[in-house]
Each structure stands twice: as C-alpha cells, then as structure tokens.
A and B are shown apart, each in its own frame.
Chain A
Amino acid sequence: MKNLLTLKKYFLKYKTKLFLGIVFILISNSMTVILPILLKDAIDELQRNTTSAILLKYAGLIVGTSIVGGIFRYSIRQTIIVVSREIEYDLRGDFWSHIQKLPLRYFQNNSTGNIMSHATNDINAIRSFIGPAVMYSIDTSIRLLIVVAIMMSMNFSLTIYALLPLPFLSYGVYRVGKLIHEKYVKIQENFSQLTTRAQENFSGIRVIKSFVREENEIKRWRELSKEFLRKNMNLIRIQAMITPILTVITGISIIVVIWIGGGKVINGEMSLGEIAAFVAYLSILIWPVIAFGWVMNIIQQAEASMKRLNKIFSEPYEIDDSEKTDLSIKELKGEIEFNNVSFRYSDNLPKVLNNINLKIPIGSTLAVIGHTGSGKTSLINLIPRLYDVTDGEVKIDGKNVKEIPLDILRTNIAVVQQESFLFSDTVNGNLSYGLRTIDIDKVKEVSRIANFDKDVETFTKGYETMVGERGITFSGGQKQRASLARALAADPKILILDDSFSAVDTQTEERILKNLKEFMKNRTSIIISHRISTVKDADNIIVIHNETIAEQGTHNELVALNGIYADLHYKQLLEKELEELN
C-alpha cells in the first residue's frame, strides 16, 4: 500500500465529491435494506387475512424505496466513478509532463512500447482501483454492517448459519482471481512468444525458403501453438470454477435459511415473512461479498502499477535550468566553441569524442565529415544540450551552454535530424512547428528555400494536406526537405543540418544549398554530410576519425592533404562517373 499513498494528493483534490459519494452510498443502502423488511411485513400480513388495500400499500412502498435508492445509486456512480476518471486525467497529465522533460538518453534506453505500456496499462490499473475498488469497498462495508445488524435482530443463530458460507465465497473469489491473474500473465507471455516467432519467421522467410525448411517451421509453430492452447486451458480450468463456486456457496446459504429457518417457523420461533426477508438479504449481500475478493486483487495490481509509475516519476530530468543558469541571457549571436570536449554515452561505454577543440565564428559554415559511427551526431547534439558533455565545455558567445537558459538555447538553435520526423498534422502545422503562431507567408517562403514548394503544389489540399499515418506518406527526400523548411521557419541563429540531404538527389541538393546561402548570412551553420558535394563550399571542414578531429581546412586544402578527405573525394567522383555511364 506504500506506493498507493502517492495518490493522496489526488484524492484530497476531489474530497468534496468523494465525501458526497460516501453520503450517497449511505442513503442508497438504507433504502436497499428496507425492501426485505417490507417483504417480511407483507408476507406476515398475508397470514393474518389482510386486505388488498394494505397489500397495495406495501407494493407502493417497495417501488417507492426502490426509486429513491435508485436515484442515489445513480448519484454514486456520478460522483465516485467520475472522480476516478478525473484523477486518471490528472495522473496521466502529470505523467506526460514528466516524460516530456526526461533527457534523450531515457528514450534511447527505454522502448516506446515500454513507455506506452506505463501510460496505458499501469494508469488503467490505478484507475480501476480509484473507481470501482473504492466504490465497492465502501459500499460493501456499509451494506454488510447494516444488513448483518438487521438480520441478527431478527434471528441471531440463523444469521450465523446463513452467513457462514459467505467468507469462503469472498476468499474463494480472491484466490481464484489471483490465480486467474497469474495464469493470464503466463498466457500473455506465451502470446508474445507466438508473435515473436511469427515476426522472426516472416522476416527470415528467404532463408527458410532457400533451405526448404517450411515444413519444419510449421512443425515448430504447431508446437508453440499447442503450448499456447495448453496455457489457455490452464486458465480455463480455473476460470470455469467461478460460476459453479458462486452457485454452490450462495445456494447453500439459501438452503440453510429454508431448512433451519423452516424448522424455526415450525417451532414458532420465526415467521415465514422473516424467512422471505432472509432470502432477500442474502441476495443483496452476495454481490458485495464477491466484489470484496475481487477488490483485493485490484488493490494488489494497482500497487504494483503505482510502483512502476513512481519509478518513472523519480527519473531525474538531468538536463534542465539550474542555479548556474544566467537568466540575463536573452539572445544568442551564434559563436560556438568546443574546449577539450570529450563525451561518452554512459560510464561503461567507450568515449565517442575525445578532446575536441573547435571554434565556429559567427556567420560561418562548418562542415563535418566522417564514417558512420564516428561521432558526428554526438558532436552536434552537445550544442543544444540534447546531451551534456562528459568533460570540457561547449560555449556559445563565450558562455558555457549549461549557463544559458534552455528556452533561449533551444529556440535559437534549429537542428534538422538525420531521421526526419514529421507529426501527423497538416503540412502547414508541421512547417510552422517552431513558430508561435502559424504564419502561412513564412511557411511558403521557407518551403521555397528548402525546395519543397513545388511538392506542396502537387498535393490536392496544398499546405492543408495531412501528413503521416492518416494522411499522405512522404518520400524520404520530401521528409528531409520538409524538416529543413521547419527548421528554417524557426528563424534560428544557429542552424545544424545532420546529414539532411541523404535522400535528396544531387541536383536538388545543389539548388537548396544555393538558396540556403542567402538565408545563412549572419547565421552560424553546421552541416554534416557523407557527400563531398554538400560540404565543399563550407568555410571550414573537419574530418572526424577515431573520436577526434583528424583533418581540418577548406576543400582545396584537404584535397591537397591527400588523406581521408581526398580519398573520399576521389571515390565520389568515380561513383558519379559510373552513375552517368549508360
């Protein structure tokens, strides 16, 4: 229960509504317990030669209490269950606002599926606890107390006999519920094995077909499928007990009442009406007793889920403004400096960057070249503080980036990432992502620079076309150009292009670079690329190799150096020749 205490603040927020809910539970229960008494009186009246007017009175009272009870029963759901949805909303909101602030590192170490499972399954388990569990446990306790008191006042010993089976029922439901949950988890595991196997088979279908192993794969699938069948039957073996258990235990209670109670009627200890009332009370009690066992399970599951959520809530933000932040910084000019910068992703991993020293003057263009995995992306990620350096410092305008307010830092830097990511929104919405308000003129202007305007013209709804899952699918090149336009629209002081032209053909690339020249005046820019054609005009080119800067200079200087850059240059010329050959 320790973890569930986290929920206290949410409960307090809705204390009025919850209090009302409890009052409604009291009122509705006091109505519910009247009905058996009315029944008792009516039946006892019948044995005393009553009139049909009196019968009508009882009938009216029965319907009347039921109406009043119903109204309050309605109100219980409208308060307590509604509150559970409100708290679910608050909790999910807090969860999301926390997730958003976690560093990139967190998202690289945790799969999207995993995070999603917390946001859906865990929050859901807690919601079930807040709503149904809280409602039924209060309802059950109150009802149990009142009903048992009334029954005892009618006949003490019969009450004991009749209620004797019910704790077993409650405990049975609890145990069976627990078992079902365990078996269910096993089934889920097996199901994901099935999914993995299918995934593996379909991905490796070429190998399977070329070694003619289809029959064998089918055999293995049958075996796994059989295992799944077996696990399901394990669950069913337990699940099938529920209805019979309920039937037997509740049935026994009623038989006890009729048998022992009947004996008491014969002895004259009780009236027939009281027997009727007992039977009616038992049927009122059965559901709460079942719910009680069921609620115990919900609480346990909610506790486990809350524990997982609390773990996420305790994840540190790592990268955030701190007391070192200099709030007087309101804008950036764009001079970048790396001083003895080293970086590794975690303590037990080797360094990706080692002792990097670099200066990028305002308004200049730096190009970065290097093999895949040489650390180019890691280098630029340090500037907007997507990661923080391990050693050394990154400075902008002479200030350590850790001292610059994150708002100022990131709004002044635009990064076009290697993997273009667009949201499922309109083209317009995507391109104006970095703007405070949507500005269609600006969007059109940056589309032109990124050579994306011609593409948009071919879409039927132009800039209002939906992108992504529920809209049109962009080609790789279109995605890259759209992301470029999005970055340009943000009007950054520092523009970083991380291999942003890889899916764009060379002619288009040349056109974009020409357009960019004008845009990049007075802005500092960094271009990462594999292509010599992209970087050759940069003011300064660095080659990253073995975690450090291996070569540095302009295109001509580097070609003359006859090293890594020159080799790459030569090969790309050859490739171009081959491509043009018909």
Chain B
Amino acid sequence: MTEKTQEEEILGKAYDSRLMKRLLVYIKPYKKYVILAILLNIFVAAFGPLRPFLTKIAIDDYILNSNYNGLKIIALLLFASLILQAIIQYFLTYYTQYLGQRTLYDIRTQIFEHIQKLALKYFDRTPIGRIVTRATNDVESLNELFSSGIVMVFSDIFIIIWILVFMFSMDIPLSLVTLSVLPVLIYGTFLFRKKVRETYRDVRFHLARLNSYMQEHVTGMSVVQIFRKEKDEFKKFSNINADHRDANIRSIFYYAIFFPTVELLSSIAIALIIWYGGGEVIQGAVKLGDLFAFIQFTEMFFRPIRDLSEKYNILQTSMASSERIFKLLDNQTFIKDPEEPVKLNGVKGDIQFKDVWFAYDDDNYVLKNINFSIKPGEVVAIVGHTGAGKSTLINILTRFYDIRKGSILLDGIDIRQINKKDLRKYISIVLQDVFLFSGTIESNINMDNDEISIEQVISAAKTVGADKFISNLPNKYQEEVKERGATLSVGQKQLISFTRALAYDPKILILDEATSSIDTEAENLIKSAIEKLLIGRTAIVIAHRLSTIQNADKIIVLHKGEIREIGNHQELLAKRGIYYKLYQLQYKDQEIIKTI
C-alpha cells in the first residue's frame, strides 16, 4: 500500500497558485502575443455557432419561400465563414503552439545554464540521471500547459458563450428547454473525468509495477536462470500482468458508459426540441428553421465542455514537474567568486599550501594540515596509497571545492580572491579517467574554443606524439568521436587529453597519471609525451610512473590525508619508510621491465 500512496503523491499534486505564478513569469516576454491570441480566439469562436444561425435563415426565409437565389447567397456565406474559420484556426493553433515551444526553450536553457554554475558538490550528491530528467522530461511535461492550456481555456469558454448568445437571440423559451440537459452533461463530463483520472491512476500504478518487474528481472535474469526459477517467476509475472489487465478492463467500463450517455443526452435534447419546439411551431411561435439550428447547437456543446474538463489534468501534471524544476533552480550550491577579485595578469606559478584542512562532508577530514610550496617551474610528484587524498589535493587547487581551514596561495594571492575563470585559465588538469565528448578529434582538443586554431591543435598533437595516430584516421582531425570516445583505445584517449592540456598552454599543469598501460609501445609514447608536457611549467603530478617520479624535483608522500615524507627519489628510498613500501608495491616492477 505504501507504493500506492507514493504513486498518488506523484500524480495527485494539486493546483498550487504559488507555482502557477512562477510559471506565468515565463510567458511575460510574450505577453502581447498571448493577449492577441486570446482576442483572436474569442473572435473565431463565434464562427461555429454562426452556421446553424445561417442555416435557419436559409430554411425559413429562402427554402420555405422558394427563393433559390437567396439560398445561393446563404450557401456562399456559409462557405466563406467556413474557410475563414479554418484559416484563422490554423494560424492561431500554430501560433499558440509556437509560443508554448518558445517558453519551453527558455526554461530548458535556463535550467541548463543554472546547472553549469552548480558546484561539483551538487554533482557528487545527485545521480546524473535525475539531473538529466530535470533538464529534459520535466520540461517536456509542461508542454501542454504552455502550448494549449493557457490560451485554449478562453477558446472553450467563449465557444460556449457564443452558442448561448445565438440561442437566446433566436428563442428564449426554446433555449431554456434545450439547455435543461446541459447541467447533466456538465456534471456527467466532470464526473467521468474524475473517474477516469482515478482509474488512470490505478492503471498507471499497475503499469509501473509491471514495468519495474520486467526491468528488474531482465537485469537480474542470470539470477533467475541460475536458481532455475523461471516457472515460479512466470507465475509472479502472470499475476502482475493480470492485475494490469484487470485495471484496464475496469477503466473500459467508464468509457463504455460515458459515450452512450453523451449520445443519449443529445437525443433527449433533440426529443425536447421536437416535442416542445414542434408544439411552438404548430402555434406559429417558432419557425421550422429554428428547430434545425437548435438541433445543430446541441451537438456543439460537448467538445468545449470535454476540453475544459481535461484542463485540470494538464494543470496537475505540470504542477508536479514545475515543483521539481523550481527546486533545482533554487539550489544555490555555488562556489562563489569574490566580490572584488584580484585581476591576474600572467602568472609566475608559485604555489603555497598553508595549514590546509579539507573535508567533503562534516568533520571527516581527508586532508589534514597540509603545508608545502612549489617554486615556478618545479615538478612535484604526489605519491600515496589508495585513499591517501591525492585527488582531493587537485580538487581544491582549482577550487572545485573550497578548503575548510588554512589557505592556498598562487603567486602569493589567496586563490579565493581570484575569479574561478581566471584561475582555471592558468591551470590545466589532465585526469586519469579521460573524458571525451561526442564531436570531432579537433573539438575534443580545443574544446570548441575558436581562439585555438587548427595549427595550434596540430602542433600540440605533434609535440605529444598524438599526430601520428590522428593522421592515420580516415578524417584526421575531423574524425568523429563517439560518445565517451568509444572507438578509441585507452592510450589514444590519453594522448588526446595530453594534447588538449598542451593546446591550452597552461602555466600550471596538474596531471593525474593513469596507471601504466600494459602495451609497451603505447607506454613509451605516453612517457615521452608526459616529459614534453612538463617542460617549462609548474606541475603537480599524481604519479604512477617511475620515470615521472625520478624526474620530479620533489616527491610528496601523502598517507591518510597527511604529508608524511618529502624529498627526492634517492633520499626517500634511503629512509625505508612509506615511500619505500610504495616503491616496492607500485614502481619496482617498472624498473624490472626497464632493465630487461
């Protein structure tokens, strides 16, 4: 039962004026056009009821008076009104839908822009799939509200009003008699909507159960098969499948009863027109053409009433999504830029960590009291066992996260005094897990930055030795890169990410080395690429290669969030401490391969 109430909460979000007000803000830029559309709708709504009125004239004034020319004029008038209505209707629909789509476009970009500004902390805590849903599906579910909901309400209401106007102008008592079925029709329609809503909820619930059963068991099919439970599972499946069927069959009932009822009501109205109206005709109070017109009117009421009753559903679904969207837009997990930032005009590359403490959450410090400094042009290797805090060190230097205590200085300036954009312009990061975007090789190297020319891209690729394999691709630098670089090897992806970093020519380079690849040829390529990359830069390397460590000016040994040893390779080996153990565990094998 808890499942059911959850489902109901999702579907049953009631109208909320606060949310509605916020939603209406989005149509403000198009206010003039919306008002115009509404006015046009009011006008065009009159055409439908106009035709039965003309029919009446045709019958009473011309057919019954044997005036063929008059009849022809009326027929032409009818035809003209029909064409005019169709044309206006087409452009009106197109136009309102366009406004709706524009609004959705605005919301979609606003959400995306907002997400781009959110700090990494938000992405750590929120499943990617959920963020994607906000920017896509949730926006789509506002579609009906914006594209038809707001404007069409006026259309439906005015169609009803126009019919009433025409009816009462023709004959008041006959109007009242005919309209006597209207309350029942309105009540019935709304009752039907309510019932359908309920059964729809029921169907949705069973459908969700069915889908999640199948989803789950397709994923876990190996468990089903290993335990040889196919027969038992099929029984379970059949029960859920049957519940779904029965819920659907229950909902058939309401449709089965509703449509005949509407037909019956319209028959009753026609019967009333024949009986009462006919009686008046006999007495000469009503003309025969009026009966014709009224019979046609009775059929016109149904559509606007049905449409109005659907509007409530549209409101409901849009409430739930808009609440989720606004919650995201209200999220202010930003890393703030300083109010009066220090402008950077070139950077020397002097880095200092002073008493730095950092925790991702609460008091679980992953970095404790970190102190070290790097002189311009120095290469520093960071080593440590898994969970020592190496990656965290990188994260805080580029302000992906802000530190808790202490300070990090770049050329003597606290990095919190610098705009993130400026800071990151001078620091490039090469991550262990190379992330390639769908696009071309070129766009993955220059990251779609027009300021980096194709010549610069090629020259950077040549420097790191990536040019060779890229030139061998059918389309060279324009070769398509699939999502996540699926068609490229691990080594190739790494070379691309080195080229990317080099093309940006950063003053400071942060390199998270991937654990050495098995293929020796690729390994040699990567090794020399790294050497080229480090020339003339301040660099911090999370090292996995012996060669990188040996070439470093300084090695910092992190262990459980603290700096335990600092020195060069030989000094640290002689110490026989943590570095010595790490060397045995991670780097010694590379030496063996080398000597062989």
A interface residues with partner B (beta carbon < 8 Å): 35, 39, 42-43, 46-47, 49-52, 55-56, 58-60, 62-63, 65-67, 69-71, 73-78, 81-82, 85-86, 88-89, 92-93, 96-97, 99-101, 104, 107, 112, 115-116, 119-120, 191, 194-196, 198-214, 216-218, 220-222, 225-226, 228-229, 232-233, 236-237, 239-241, 243-245, 247-248, 251-252, 254-255, 258-259, 262-263, 265-266, 272, 276, 279-280, 283, 384, 386, 406-407, 410-411, 413-415, 417, 421, 423-424, 433-434, 468-470, 490, 571, 574-575, 577-579, 581-582
> Are A206 and B234 interface neighbours, CB within 8 A?
no
Question: Chain A CB within 10 Å — which of B55, B230, B238, B260 has the most?
Answer: B260
The answer to whether B68 and A266 have CB atoms under 8 Å apart is yes
Report the nearest A residue to B117, measured CB to CB. A214
Closest chain B residue to A385, Cβ basis: B225
A203 and B264: CB pair below 8 A?
Answer: no
Contact B252 A222 (CB under 8 A): no
Partner of A386, one of B225, B241, B279, B288: B225
- The smallest beta-carbon distance between A136 and chain B, in angstroms, is 13
In the complex, B364 has a CB within 8 A of chain A: no
A409 to chain B, nearest CB (A): 8
Asked if residues B267 and A77 are in contact (CB atoms below 8 Å), the reply is no
Q: Is the CB of A213 within 8 A of B449?
A: yes
The interface bits of chain B over 248-269 (1 if a CB of A lies within 8 angstroms of the residue's CB, else 0) are 1100110111011101100110
Given known contacts A236-B98, A265-B63, A581-B559, A69 and B263 CB-to-CB distance under 8 angstroms = yes
Stretch at the interface among B186-194, B425-433, B472-480: B425-433
Chain A residues in 8 Å Cβ range of B58: 258, 262
Among A209, A233, A574, point to the contact of B581 (Cβ < 8 A).
Answer: A574
User: When chains A and B are docked, how far (Å) is the Cα of A76 from the Cα of B256?
Assistant: 8
Interface residues of B in 57-112 (CB under 8 A from A): 58-59, 62-64, 66-68, 71-72, 74-75, 78-79, 82-83, 85-87, 89-90, 93-94, 97-98, 101-102, 104-105, 108-109, 112
**Chain A nearest CB: distance from B289 CB in Å?**
9
Is there contact, CB below 8 Å, between B260 and A70? Answer: yes
**Segment with Cβ contacts to A, from B33-41, B290-298, B344-352:** B290-298
- Whether B571 is near chain A, meaning CB under 8 Å from some CB there, is no
Decide: B135 and A226 in contact? CB cutoff 8 A.
no
- CB-CB < 8 A to B500: which residues of A? 211
14 pairs across A/B with beta carbons < 8 Å?
A46-B288, A59-B272, A59-B275, A62-B267, A65-B267, A100-B234, A104-B222, A207-B435, A232-B97, A262-B58, A276-B295, A386-B222, A581-B559, A581-B581
Out of A71, A89, A434, name the residue touching B245 (CB < 8 Å): A89
20 A-B pairs besides A51-B282, A251-B78 with CB distance below 8 A are A39-B295, A58-B271, A78-B256, A92-B241, A119-B211, A198-B131, A205-B116, A206-B435, A207-B429, A207-B431, A210-B400, A212-B421, A225-B112, A243-B93, A255-B82, A258-B71, A266-B67, A266-B71, A417-B223, A578-B581
Cα(A113)–Cα(B437), bound, Å? 23
**With A and B bound together, what is the CA distance between A143 and B92 in angstroms?**
35
Task: Output the least CB separation between B488 and chain A (Å).
Answer: 15
Does B299 interact with chain A (Cβ within 8 Å)?
yes
Residue from the set A236, A406, A417 with the largest chain B CB neighbour count within 10 Å: A236
- Complex alpha-carbon distance, A323 and B254, angstroms: 53
Cβ contact within 8 Å between A210 and B109: no
Minimum C-beta distance from A220 to chain B (A)? 7
Residues of A within 8 A of B279 (CB): 52, 55
Determine the residue in chain A with the shortest Cβ distance to B221: A107
Closest Cβ–Cβ distance, residue A50 to chain B (whole Å)? 7
Known: A218-B109, A578-B582. A198 touches B135 (CB 8 A): yes
**Closest CB-CB distance, B432 to chain A, in whole Å?**
11
**A252 touching B428 by the CB < 8 A rule?**
no
A116: contacting residue among B214, B296, B385, B437, CB under 8 A: B214
CB atoms of A74 and B257 under 8 A apart:
yes
A46 touches B282 (CB 8 A): yes
A384→B226 contact, CB < 8 A: yes
B578 at the interface (CB under 8 A from A): yes
Contact A43 B291 (CB under 8 A): yes
- Say if the beta carbon of B224 comes within 8 Å of chain A: yes
Q: Please give the distance in Å from B485's CB to the nearest CB on chain A.
A: 11
B449 close to A263 (CB less than 8 A): no
Contact call A407/B228, Cβ cutoff below 8 A = yes
Known: A62-B270, A96-B237, A247-B85. A73 touches B260 (CB 8 A): yes
Shortest CB–CB separation between residue B209 and chain A, in angstroms?
A: 11
One digit per residue, 1 when the CB lies within 8 angstroms of any chain A CB and 0 when it does not, for chain B 195-225 equals 0000000000000000110111111111111
On chain A, the residues within 8 Å of B431 by CB distance are 206-207
A89–B282 Cα distance when bound, in Å, is 59
A434, B271: Cβ atoms closer than 8 Å: no
The answer to whether B227 and A490 touch across the interface, beta carbons within 8 angstroms, is: yes
Inter-chain contact A62/B581, CB cutoff 8 Å: no
B315 → chain A, closest Cβ, in Å? 22
Q: If A52-B279, A203-B128 touch, does A283 touch B264 (CB 8 Å cutoff)? A: no
Chain B residues lying within 8 Å of A85, measured Cβ to Cβ, are 245, 248-249, 252
A200→B483 contact, CB < 8 A: yes
For the complex of A and B, the 9 pairs showing the least CB-CB separation, nearest first, are A70-B260, A66-B267, A244-B86, A77-B256, A59-B271, A259-B75, A240-B93, A59-B275, A410-B228
Q: A100-B233, A216-B447 are in contact. Are A202 and B263 (CB under 8 A)?
A: no
Name the B residues within 8 Å of A252 (CB-CB): 79, 82
Chain A's closest residue to B51 (CB) is A251
How many Å lie between the Cα of A577 and that of B425 in the bound state? 41
The CA of A129 and the CA of B473, in the complex, are separated in Å by 49
Check A97 against B274 for contact (C-beta < 8 Å).
no
Knowing A62-B270, A70-B263, A255-B79 touch, does A421 contact B72 (C-beta < 8 A)?
A: no
Report Cα–Cα, A216/B500, bound state, in Å.
16
Q: Which residue of B lies closest to A421 (CB)?
A: B220
Q: Are B271 and A63 in contact (CB under 8 A)?
A: yes
- Within 8 Å CB of B241, what residues of A? 89, 92-93, 96
- B residues near A262, Cβ cutoff 8 Å: 58-59, 62-63, 68, 71, 75
Inter-subunit contact B504/A211 (CB<8 Å): yes
**How far, in angstroms, from A263 to B129 measured CA to CA in the complex?**
68
Q: Report if B438 contacts A (CB, 8 A).
A: yes
**B123 contacts partner chain A, Cβ-Cβ < 8 Å:** yes
Set of chain B residues within 8 Å of A112, measured between Cβ atoms: 215, 218-219
CB within 8 A of B400: which of A65, A99, A206, A266? A206
Pick the contact of A218: B113, B120, B226, B585 (CB < 8 A): B113
The minimal Cβ–Cβ distance linking B232 to chain A, given in whole angstroms, is 9
Q: How far apart are A532's CB and chain B's nearest CB, in angstroms?
A: 14
**Which among A50, A75, A191, A204 is the interface contact of B136 at CB below 8 angstroms?**
A191
Write the nearest CB–CB distance from A156 to chain B, whole angstroms. 20
Nearest opposing residue in chain B for A205, CB measure: B123
Tell me the smallest distance from the CB of B388 to a CB of chain A, in Å: 9
Say whether, besides A85-B248, A200-B438, A210 and B136 are in contact (CB < 8 Å). Answer: no
Contact of B82 among A206, A241, A251 (CB under 8 A): A251
| B278 at the binding interface (Cβ < 8 Å) | yes
- Would you call A386 and B260 a contact (CB within 8 A)? no
Task: Check if A52 sits within 8 Å of B282, measured CB to CB.
Answer: yes
Q: Is B140 an interface residue (CB 8 A)?
A: yes
- Contacting pair A196 B483 (CB below 8 A): yes
Nearest to B127 among chain A residues (CB) is: A202
Q: Contacts A221-B112, A266-B66 known; A414 to B93 CB distance under 8 Å?
A: no
Q: CA–CA, A581 to B117, complex, Å?
A: 41
- By beta carbon, the residue of chain B nearest A246 is B86
Complex interface: chain B residues within 8 A of A47 (CB) = 288
Known contacts A59-B271, A88-B245; decide if A214 and B296 are in contact (CB<8 Å).
Answer: no
Complex alpha-carbon distance, A229 and B212, angstroms:
32
Known contacts A81-B252, A255-B82; A581/B260 CB under 8 A:
no
Alpha-carbon gap, A579 to B581, bound state (A):
11
A237 to B95, CA, bound (A): 10
Distance, CA A218 to CA B224, complexed state (A): 45
Task: Assess whether B584 is interfacial by the CB under 8 Å rule.
Answer: yes
Please state if B116 and A214 are interface contacts (CB–CB under 8 Å).
yes
